[in-house]
Copies of this chain bind each other. A is one copy, B any other.
């Protein structure tokens, strides 16, 4: 029986347990996990700040590994059958139903009510379904992609890559745009890389702490500002100085702090685009001091503000194609130096290091 690191309940520390693997259904598979990760969502899950989490659960939504067993058939989107032994990753989102109003009429599959996410909304009762385990049970209909890059390079993007790609796509970054990224966590760093790849001439980043801003510069940001050193007014002034007094063409908010939503709107030029991708957890309503002014911040600015929830297979696929291509993967190679590895026994430490921002990205190696 494989070992797994489990969050038993909100606020409880991670525990190591042996978990049983169910009989494989037809067209399902078992993955021997090589690497998984700890992301901000896992911190929120442990803190009980996410709705719909079926505790106890095994965290770890984006992972890579080897298919150790396949029952029936498992295909990629090209119709090629996987074989046992293949290295793969898989879309953490499962069971968008292709049958409901959101899937078929609104074509908004990330809002499908039946959507499930490995490591977040699948719990221990669903079998080993998170990456902080030696094995994951890949249910029928799981979308795998064959891995053509070393696992660690892929995990330098991890779950932040499709999330950021979705945000950049939704921001409709145009050639020669100036893009402002708020937040210097993994999503922010990936957003910097991808905004540049999509043609932004300059990407600015406001974040913290310093080592993450260094990563932002490595990722290609032309200028960074430490949020801890400047108040909102000074930050606005900094942006305006770099944009002929107008603000950024596109702002990608990836912070986790509600107050950043209003700042994103203020730091963007009139008629620009704001993508909100940093509010994945409920931190409650905006405080009075955030002071959103609908006239000045939205209507008169003629602004586009776009919430960006989850990602779908296209984002995961495109991201995987990019990070696997030697002509494009250099920014992630540079990030590999910022990865910290933990075995299952140190999962609590990994969570703490991510929560504090001490590390940029924490990887879990279940088999060590």
A107→B270 contact, CB < 8 A: no
Of A18-26, A63-71, A290-298, A350-358, the one with at least 4 CB within 8 A of chain B? A290-298
A295→B321 contact, CB < 8 A: no
Q: Report the separation of the CA atoms of residues A266 and B108 in the bound assembly, to the nearest whole angstrom.
A: 17
Q: Which residues of B contact A270 (CB under 8 A)?
A: 102, 106, 108, 111, 309
> Could you jot down 24 A-B contacts, CB within 8 Å?
A77-B99, A77-B105, A106-B249, A108-B302, A110-B302, A111-B270, A111-B271, A169-B174, A176-B319, A258-B293, A258-B294, A261-B298, A277-B299, A279-B295, A279-B299, A280-B295, A281-B295, A282-B295, A285-B291, A286-B294, A288-B288, A298-B305, A300-B307, A304-B307
B197→A318 contact, CB < 8 A: no
Q: Report the separation of the CA atoms of residues A294 and B141 in the bound assembly, to the nearest whole angstrom.
A: 33
Q: Which residues of B contact A293 (CB under 8 A)?
A: 258, 282, 284-286
* A78 on the B face (CB < 8 A): yes
Which residues in window 135-157 of A have CB below 8 A to B?
141, 143
B104→A75 contact, CB < 8 A: no
Classify chain A's interface size: 35 or more
In the complex, residue of chain B having the shortest beta-carbon distance to the beta carbon of A106: B271
In the complex, residue of chain B having the shortest beta-carbon distance to the beta carbon of A198: B199
A318→B176 contact, CB < 8 A: yes
* A45 on the B face (CB < 8 A): no
Q: Report the separation of the CA atoms of residues A328 and B272 in the bound assembly, to the nearest whole angstrom.
A: 23
Separation in Å of the A103 CB from the closest CB of chain B?
A: 8
A175→B197 contact, CB < 8 A: yes
In the complex, residue of chain B having the shortest beta-carbon distance to the beta carbon of A284: B293
Which residues in window 239-293 of A have CB below 8 A to B?
244, 246, 249, 258, 261, 269-272, 276-286, 288, 291-293
In the complex, residue of chain B having the shortest beta-carbon distance to the beta carbon of A260: B294
Q: Which residues of B contact A201 (CB under 8 A)?
A: 321-322, 325, 327-328
B302→A305 contact, CB < 8 A: no
- Choose from B78, B141, B143, B280 the contact partner of A299 (Cβ within 8 Å): B280
* A12 on the B face (CB < 8 A): no
Q: Report the separation of the CA atoms of residues A199 and B169 in the bound assembly, to the nearest whole angstrom.
A: 11
> In the complex where A176-B322, A305-B306 touch, is A295 in contact with B105 (Cβ < 8 A)?
no
Separation in Å of the A102 CB from the closest CB of chain B?
A: 7
